[in-house]
Chains A and B, each alone.
Chain A
Amino acid sequence: MLDKILQKLIRTATGRTRFIMAVTGLSVALLLILMAVQLQTNYNELLNSKSNQDSIANFLVVNKQLNDQNLGATALTESEVAELRKQPFTESVGLLSPSRFKASIQSNSEMFPFYTDIAFESVPDEFIDVTSKDWKWDEQQNMVPVIVPNMFLDFYNFQFSFSQNLPQLTQQVVKMIVFRINIYTSTGIQTFNGRVVGFSDRISSLLVPQGFMDWANRKFSGENQAKPSRVIIRTNDPGNPELVSYLRSKGLTTDADKTRFSRYRQVVDMVVSISWITGVIMLVFAMLIFTLFIQLTISSCRREIELLITLGASPGQLYKFLMRRFFPINIVIIGITLVLISILQYLLHHYLISRNIHIGKYISWQTAVAGMLLLGLIWVVNRVTIKKYISVS
């Protein structure tokens, strides 16, 4: 009953247009801010989730920058590798093991003769972008699977074959060719059969299974522990400026082209930060408008409020009444905003799934929490404003 009478007293004084303006401003600001939070979490999800990781995560082959001082001493020490492993941008580090023995490959067929000296490299399987059931080796097995850089085949097909008057070869044809691998040991030549099982875009060397490499290095080279000169690191963010500057400071280099991802990253970052900044600025203004609206309401009912206090209405009662009058609309605004973002997220989820990008169907808990925090902020601002202006009037 008290509320009804107070409402009648205080309603008469406030303009409807101003109220709508204040509410609209606040809604847009909250929408922008909460959208920024949702975008940020979507983006983090894209970077970190398992299903998306391979499409975005990147692999960098890192080695020392070769110069006059370190010729012949480009091996990475254990401490260097350990330090690299500790960096925030590194997800995992794999050592590339080079072969320590002399080897060549040659054709089995007289029809299509070729011969070349060659060196292999191996890397833990998790760093390889080729999946093939043939990618395995044990000591009983004479057939050694090999992964070839795509670049090699391109080089052959589009340059070498023309100059040598040789036929061009598709990936399927190359995979069918069985060739001979010769390993030169102190006791003579050991022969294996080799076959290409896949083509890699990731590592630019001829890869053999790690098991074969370890075994062959042990058996044919005499050196027990081959020191790696190159490592492959997995990072979720090859465009991270920290990574680039770290590598530079340590005299390391990597494939510069891989940092192209940083451009997409920058665009997304920019969109998110613009949304953030706009949202925050709008929030500040919207809060200002809302605060002014409260002030205006209170000051336009100054006489009524004064008389109410004269009659014995307590500041507490007035505060409660005014809070009940101004605050609930904010709950509604936040509610509607969250629902709106949920719908957008759901649509986005379906849109992106057709492009093989997976983001959550529902809004993130961070967005919901941010919504609650903003509600808390608005509550505090309302409270402070109302308290201040009640005591003034």
Chain B
Amino acid sequence: MDIELDHIIPVPLKDKILARQSDIWNRRVTWKQGSYIKIKAPSGTGKTTFIHILYKLRTDFEGNVKFDGALLEKTDGDALATLRQQQLSVILQDLRLFPNLTARENIELKRVLQIPFYESDKIDAMAAALGVQHVLNQQAGLCSYGEQQRIAIIRALIQPFQWLIMDEPFSHLDNHNATKAAALIEEECKKRNAGLLITDLEDDQHFAYSHQFNL
């Protein structure tokens, strides 16, 4: 699945964005599936807004987002759900786990929402790789931010996808854990021949990026 951005500008940020240069806003950009995209975005440039537009969490923007030529704004209901179940996986900055479910249930929910891509023992394997196996049966709301972030990463990786969209996915992790998480993410993307898109405040070397942009 290719991603095509056609002069998108979020309405609330319109004046601010038009006053400066951006590689993404108000431009035509196309990314092939399998690309590794890094978007560097200092605070206040609309980083999270951009992720939310791509994942269709907000629609207050001008311009068009197309997945394989299909307009995102026309995709809704069950079709949008299929997109999120099969093609587009996300790690949001605010993680969005169900605090009352256990960590395992949070991941399991995403696993069985569609025809499972992995068996359930893969949850344990991934949790072991990221060092959160011990919190799997704990309520997600009681886990630390670092643990929650790793649970959210596993949740995003348990489903099938063609693109993985991440909004500061390592913000609560130390370098050691971030490296482990990045390795797992890269492995899973390769397995699916999927692309990844990551936004962050600073430059980083977590992945071998094919394109880097400034928002």
The answer to whether A311 touches B109, judged by C-beta atoms less than 8 angstroms apart, is: yes
The answer to whether A12 touches B100, judged by C-beta atoms less than 8 angstroms apart, is: yes
Of B81-89, B122-130, B142-150, the stretch lying at the interface with chain A is B81-89
Interface residues of A in 299-317 (CB under 8 A from B): 304, 307, 309-317
What are the residues of chain A within 8 A of B57 when measuring CB–CB? Answer: 310
* Other-chain contact of B101, A2, A9, A314 (Cβ < 8 Å): A9
| B188 interface hit (Cβ, 8 Å) | no
| B183 interface hit (Cβ, 8 Å) | no
**In the complex, how many residues of chain B place their beta carbon closer than 8 angstroms to a beta carbon of chain A?**
21
> Beta-carbon contacts of A241-273 to B below 8 Å, as 1s and 0s?
000000000000000000000000000000000
Q: Kindly provide the distance from the CB of A243 to the nearest chain B CB, expressed in whole angstroms.
A: 60
Interface residues of A in 204-219 (CB under 8 A from B): none
| B105 interface hit (Cβ, 8 Å) | yes
Interface residues of A in 117-161 (CB under 8 A from B): none
Closest to A6 in B: B109
| B168 interface hit (Cβ, 8 Å) | no
* Other-chain contact of B98, A2, A9, A316, A317 (Cβ < 8 Å): A9
State the majority secondary structure of interface residues on A. helix
**In the complex, how many residues of chain A place their beta carbon closer than 8 angstroms to a beta carbon of chain B?**
18
Q: Kindly provide the distance from the CB of B98 to the nearest chain A CB, expressed in whole angstroms.
A: 6
What are the residues of chain B within 8 A of A307 when measuring CB–CB? Answer: 96, 98
What are the residues of chain B within 8 A of A314 when measuring CB–CB? Answer: 77-78, 81-82, 85
Given A312-B84, A315-B78, A315-B81, decide whether A304 and B113 contact each other with a Cβ distance below 8 A. no
Q: Within the assembled complex, what's the spacing in Å between the Cα atoms of A228 and B114?
A: 85
Q: Within the assembled complex, what's the spacing in Å between the Cα atoms of A89 and B112?
A: 66
Given A9-B101, A309-B81, A311-B84, decide whether A317 and B96 contact each other with a Cβ distance below 8 A. no
Closest to B155 in A: A311
Q: Kindly provide the distance from the CB of A25 to the nearest chain B CB, expressed in whole angstroms.
A: 30
What are the residues of chain A within 8 A of B108 when measuring CB–CB? Answer: 1, 5
| B172 interface hit (Cβ, 8 Å) | no
What are the residues of chain B within 8 A of A311 when measuring CB–CB? Answer: 84, 96, 109-110, 113
What are the residues of chain A within 8 A of B77 when measuring CB–CB? Answer: 314-315
| A355 interface hit (Cβ, 8 Å) | no
Q: Within the assembled complex, what's the spacing in Å between the Cα atoms of A12 and B105?
A: 15
What are the residues of chain B within 8 A of A316 when measuring CB–CB? Answer: 78, 81
The answer to whether A1 touches B101, judged by C-beta atoms less than 8 angstroms apart, is: no
* Other-chain contact of B113, A9, A12, A312, A315 (Cβ < 8 Å): A312
Q: Kindly provide the distance from the CB of A5 to the nearest chain B CB, expressed in whole angstroms.
A: 5
The answer to whether A8 touches B100, judged by C-beta atoms less than 8 angstroms apart, is: yes
Interface residues of B in 93-123 (CB under 8 A from A): 96, 98, 100-101, 105, 108-110, 112-114
Q: Within the assembled complex, what's the spacing in Å between the Cα atoms of A2 and B98?
A: 14
Q: Within the assembled complex, what's the spacing in Å between the Cα atoms of A1 and B159?
A: 15
Q: Within the assembled complex, what's the spacing in Å between the Cα atoms of A307 and B96?
A: 7
Q: Within the assembled complex, what's the spacing in Å between the Cα atoms of A9 and B105?
A: 10
Q: Kindly provide the distance from the CB of A24 to the nearest chain B CB, expressed in whole angstroms.
A: 29
Q: Among A6, A8, A304, which residue has the most Cβ atoms of chain B within 10 A?
A: A8
Closest to B114 in A: A312
Q: What would 10 A/B residue contacts be, using CB atoms closer than 8 Å? A: A5-B108, A8-B101, A304-B98, A310-B55, A310-B57, A311-B96, A312-B114, A312-B159, A316-B81, A317-B81
Query: Measuring CB to CB, which residues of chain B are less than 8 angstroms from any residue of chain A?
Result: 55, 57, 77-78, 81-85, 96, 98, 100-101, 105, 108-110, 112-114, 159
Apart from A9-B100, A312-B81, A316-B78: 4 A-B pairs, beta carbons within 8 A: A2-B109, A8-B101, A312-B84, A313-B81
For the complex of A and B, the 4 pairs showing the least CB-CB separation, nearest first, are A312-B84, A314-B81, A312-B85, A314-B78
